[in-house]
Amino acid sequence: MELDASPLALPFPDMPPISGVTLRVALARYKNWDRADLTYAELAECTAVAGVFTQSACASSEVELGREQVKQGRARALIVNAGNSNAFTGYRGREAVDQIRAQVAEHLGCGTDQVFVSSTGVIGVSLPKDKARAGVAAALIAEPCNWEDAARAIGTTDTFAKGAHTSAMLGGTRVELVGFIKGSGMIAPDMATMLGYIFTDAAIEPGFLQELLTQANRQTFSCITVDGDTSTSDTVLAFATGAAGNAPLASFDDPGADAFAAALTDLCRQLAQLVVRDGEGASKFIAIRVSGAVSDDSAHRIALSVANSPLVKTAIAGEDANWGRVVMAVGKAGEPADRDKLSIAFGGIWTAKNGLPVEGYDEAPVAAHLKGKEIDISIELGLGEGHATVWTCDLTHGYISINADYRS
């Protein structure tokens, strides 16, 4: 099945090269297709690495190994296989990953623990070792490619290539941060989402990079959902080559650390929102803002309850300002809420205030807002200072078609 590009797609941005990062792609033919599906990023020596991974209890071997590998803090290579997630394949899957790590480590003359591997695609089919060996061999000697080529090669049901770029001034040194990501279904928060890769030329200690990535993840990847389904393979890795030559960052006391943290969070937010824009069947991008909750965590859980409600998502698909369904989703969240203090707005226009419909509110601007592609739902609980924002998409016939009408 060839899918049209999402109506919410954005063009791939101009992204500068990152000194110390060389990208190559190859055709391993993990599925019966003629597109590059194996991506190889070669990284300068001493590149710092940090990662966040799925919380799934049924994670793939790639995720299990990745969780261990980030602890030593250094990376020389990344391999991404697309078309086969290698999850739930037991020892056979693990053997395929070990083979890839050994093959790349021998080529680079580094330890296998500095070779990171991710896989994405169908669950339950072992990654074929022969295809992996030939694909890696081809990738190791391929011509270098650009970010968009790599972003496209890691995709599966994605309908457009997703990348983002930002920069930060660390003292007097400008550093670049770029990233690319894939994902459009089996997307739910409380972990890093699907496969995302961030590269920077900043010099930063691995432990501090991990701290910043974890913090950014909580405000970005953990704030998106497409269908509430959490993948077995979700991974976000950040690589810092240090080639920019700034004084290495090791804590928030270092000059530029705040600027780098802000830039990293901004980059993660861009990447996370791109995944929502490629949500399976999505026709609307929805921001759900909750305020007045008893805590930020409570606001986050309420926002997710609304974002994951099929009735809210189908109402938005139908361009229906059905705030009753928002009330329902707030009520079921299991968090403190007081019906008679609850207010709800679409596109900034209050349709219900303090537990009552707003009498005679002007429906025309609300209807116009819902006809657009960027929908804003605000929920004020009137209980405290807690607030949170999550991003999701609507639930349409397209989601059913992608996931039911066609066999995987």
Task: State the binding site for substrate.
Answer: 156, 182, 193, 280, 403, 408
Q: Parallel, antiparallel, or unpaired for β 285-293 and 374-380?
A: parallel
Residue 356, CB-side half-sphere exposure with 13 Å CA sphere: 5
- By CB under 8 A, the residues from 201 to 230 that bind a second copy are 227-230
Is 112 among the catalytic positions?
no
Which tokens sit at 131? 């295809």
Comparing CB distances to a second copy, the nearer of 229 and 385 is: 229
- 């229906």: which residue's tokens? 320
Amino acid at 354: N
The verdict on 84 binding a second copy (CB under 8 A) reads no
The verdict on 111 binding a second copy (CB under 8 A) reads no
Are the CB atoms for 238 and 267 separated by under 8 Å? no
User: Which alpha helices (DSSP H) does 3-128 contain, by range?
Assistant: 61-69, 90-108
**Residues forming a β-bridge with 23:** 41, 145
| Contact region with a second copy (CB under 8 A), list: 18-26, 161-169, 210-218, 352-360 | 352-360
- By CB under 8 A, the residues from 284 to 303 that bind a second copy are none
- By CB under 8 A, the residues from 53 to 72 that bind a second copy are 54-59
- By CB under 8 A, the residues from 120 to 149 that bind a second copy are 122-125
Comparing CB distances to a second copy, the nearer of 221 and 323 is: 323
C-alpha 265, offset from chain centre: 12
Comparing CB distances to a second copy, the nearer of 208 and 323 is: 323
Residues belonging to the binding site are 156, 182, 193, 280, 403, 408
Which tokens sit at 43? 């990284």
Comparing CB distances to a second copy, the nearer of 54 and 114 is: 54
Comparing CB distances to a second copy, the nearer of 7 and 334 is: 334
**Rounded to an integer, what distance in angstroms lies between the CA atom of residue 39 and that of residue 26?**
7
Characterize 47-70 residue by residue with b for buried, 16 or more Cβ atoms within 10 angstroms of its Cβ, and e for exposed.
Answer: bbbbbbbbebeebbbbbebbeebb
Contacts of 126 (CB under 8 A, 6+ apart): 86, 89, 92, 93, 96
Total number of residues that touch a second copy (CB under 8 A): 71
Residue 246, CB-side half-sphere exposure with 13 Å CA sphere: 28
Comparing CB distances to a second copy, the nearer of 166 and 305 is: 305
Q: How far is the CB of 1 from a second copy (least distance, A)?
A: 12
The verdict on 17 binding a second copy (CB under 8 A) reads no
Q: Which of 68, 360, 362, 407 binds a second copy (CB under 8 A)?
A: 407
**Rounded to an integer, what distance in angstroms lies between the CA atom of residue 148 and that of residue 367?**
37
- By CB under 8 A, the residues from 177 to 196 that bind a second copy are 185-186, 188
**Rounded to an integer, what distance in angstroms lies between the CA atom of residue 28 and that of residue 59?**
23
The verdict on 404 binding a second copy (CB under 8 A) reads yes
Q: x/- contact string, 308-327, with a second copy (CB under 8 A)?
A: xxxx--xx-xx-x-xxxx-x
Annotated catalytic residue: which of 54, 112, 120, 193? 193
Are the CB atoms for 328 and 305 separated by under 8 Å? no
Q: Which of 65, 75, 337, 375 binds a second copy (CB under 8 A)?
A: 337
| Contact region with a second copy (CB under 8 A), list: 28-36, 116-124, 146-154, 371-379 | 116-124
The verdict on 268 binding a second copy (CB under 8 A) reads no
- By CB under 8 A, the residues from 364 to 403 that bind a second copy are 394-397, 399-401, 403
3-state SS assignment for residue 136: helix
The catalytic residues are 193
